[in-house]
Amino acid sequence: MKIPVTIVTGFLGSGKTTLISKLLNSNPDRRLAVLVNEFGETSVDGSLLRTASDQCDIEVHDLPNGCICCTVKDDFLPVMRRLQERKHEIDHVLIETSGLALATPVMRALAWPEIRNDFQLDAVLAVIDTPQLLDGALEAGNPIPGKDQAASDALVHSNSVDTILCQQLENADVVALNKIDQYDEEALMEAEKLARQKAPQMRFLELAYNAELDTRLCMGLNLHETPAATHAHSHDHHHGPLTTMPDAGDQPLADQEQFDGHAHGGLGAHEHGDGTHEHFHEHDVGWQSFVLRSSEPQDAQDLKLAVRQATHEQPILRAKGFATIQDKAYRLAVQAVRTRVQTYFESEHAHGKESSIVFIGYHPDRKQVAKVISEKTQTAWQ
């Protein structure tokens, strides 16, 4: 019996980690393994998931280096091999990709000879930030906050956001509209229309109220179970999400069209899969991340306003981290998507007094962000 694997993808700040946390809490008796890939030096999402899973039979593994396409062999496969050795202790595997990664490298890796006999792709779940979708912030040509719109990289950025999101959605079996609690039925219908335009081949579209999905809507779907007769038709041209994974050994497939749904952003078929890594990390080196740290206790409100100011002045699309607050036993979690900043205190005590926040953006100025945060909080950040 193969262990089912669900891949969770979605652009920066879509709410993947929160949604997975809710899934963990709603499945306390299920033995789950979670692999977390982040675009940043520190594992903020992994820490949040560990806190959420303290009362569950869950294990969390961090995949460093921010781009799962670059580290499939070095990081992903070793973790899967360790899980393979304990396969009778695991019911399901969840893999959270970073907000700038695609599901295709993981889909392909699951078909590698080393692990394919013990793991089976169950479904690909793509999470969409509904407010960003409805505001047009995920569309090509939409301006980026904190960036001079006359600058040439502003347009490159806006097109890159649309391209990454569309490619994330190309192989999605289930698309979840997240952060929808404030919207009425008319707005949700518009969001559904926009989502279907970007992902016409999706099998299911779900609404995630309070960042929650019924387990039956995203786990145990068996959408990629290999039919016995599949190999007889392997020569057929494929459209839409893969239903089976071709055997390519440990080499990139020459025919990348199998991974394509519909081409977006003018990228050819060869630029999906491994080629996507080259496109986003060599042709588009503007996506960058850095961590700012402070050893001084913070004021919660001042820090929230400081992060908001920094994301307003600089092209920051995502900020996340933890801060030590004066006279508080629990850390403050900081979550920002563009200029929308949320903070809350963790429910459990965490060791360590250093505050650290990861910033992800398009050509962000690290020194300027540090200056803004330091000035607004009246503490040293570097």
pLDDT band at 334 (very low <50, low <70, confident <90, very high): very high
Are residues 27 and 87 both part of a single domain? yes
Query: Per the structure, how many domains does the chain have?
Result: 2
Are residues 257 and 361 both part of a single domain? no
Are residues 201 and 307 both part of a single domain? no
Boundary-marking domain end, from 282, 301, 326: 282
Are residues 179 and 133 both part of a single domain? yes
The mean pLDDT of 167-183, rounded to a whole number, is: 94
Are residues 182 and 319 both part of a single domain? no
The alpha carbon of residue 95 and the mean position of all alpha carbons in its chain are separated, in whole angstroms, by 9
pTM over 0.85: no
Whole-angstrom CA distances from 336 to 143, 160, 192, 317 are 18, 20, 24, 8
Are residues 70 and 211 both part of a single domain? yes
In terms of pLDDT, which residue wins out, 156 or 321?
321
The mean pLDDT of 253-278, rounded to a whole number, is: 36
Q: How many residues belong to the chain?
A: 382
pLDDT in tens, 199-233: 998 999 999 999 999 999 999 999 997 654 343 33
- What is the domain range of residue 365? 287-377
pLDDT band at 234 (very low <50, low <70, confident <90, very high): very low
Q: How far apart are the C-alpha atoms of 143 and 339, rounded to whole Å?
A: 13
Residue 257 scores a pLDDT above 50: no
**Considering the domain boundaries, does residue 230 fall inside one?**
no
